[in-house]
Amino acid sequence: MAKRLINVNPNLISWIGLIIALLCGVIFYFSGFEGKEYLLIAGAVSVIVSGYFDALDGKVAKLAGKASRKGDYLDHVFDRYADVFMIGGVAVSAWCDPYLGMAALVGVLLTSYMGTQAQAIGAPRLYAGLLGRADRVVLSTLFPIIQFVMMQFGLGSFGIAGFELNWLEIMMLWFAVVGNLTAIQRAIITWRNLCGEDRKS
């Protein structure tokens, strides 16, 4: 596909991915309305399509010899907005407790921030950790489908330690807890790398 689109401006592809991510968030929000649960499937498909375009823009840029620092910067900015749109759509919907949604957004954004901040101060760019962007895309695709399927069997929500949770809240809980743990993990790795550089100098 990248070879077929080699004459297309990579930034245009990035914009398409971002717009689809915005639509995805809107779809997830409205899927929380009674009788609109089927939109969960459409939201899951939108996550995949948005992620596909996000991967495609960089590939096209490299094949066309148009890779640049500006394009890389734009890609990172759009990725963060895409995260906010897609995860935020669930966070503000009827599917999710707002406090849990806020914690999930913080975890996701801090995970990405710690990776790029390492690069900003001259350390290696960090992609490692318990929750990377690819993991978020996979989970954001699977859990809406799981939520929809389990609702057909009357298992859309369940109690854990006195709390009533649905499957999308389980996903958001994972983003909140594991996302913040990944941010801490990346911060520690970067700190150790910087300490190692200080000793060498």
Structure tokens at 44: 């899951």
Better pLDDT: 37 or 75: 37
Q: Could you identify the residue written with the tokens 């960090």?
A: 126
Element counts in the chain: helices (H) and strands (E): 6, 2
Structure tokens at 178: 């594991």
Structure tokens at 78: 């759009």
Q: Name the least confident of 79-83, 100-104, 128-132, 147-151.
A: 128-132
Let me know if 145 is exposed, middle or buried by CB neighbors in 10 A (0-12, 13-18, 19+). middle
Report d(CA 46, CA 30) in Å as an integer.
14
Q: Which pTM does this prediction carry?
A: 0.90
The tens digit of pLDDT for each residue in 163-187 reads 899 999 999 999 999 999 999 988 8
Q: Which residues pair with 164 in a beta bridge?
A: 159
- What is the average per-residue pLDDT within 30-44? 97
Structural domains present in the chain: 10-200 (1.20.120.1760)
- Residue 89 pLDDT more than 70? yes
- Residue 118 pLDDT more than 90? no
- Residue 68 pLDDT more than 70? yes
The tens digit of pLDDT for each residue in 121-153 reads 776 677 767 788 888 999 999 999 999 999 999
The tens digit of pLDDT for each residue in 4-20 reads 888 899 999 999 999 99
From residue 125, how far is each of 107, 111, 120, 128, 133 by CA, in Å? 18, 12, 8, 9, 14
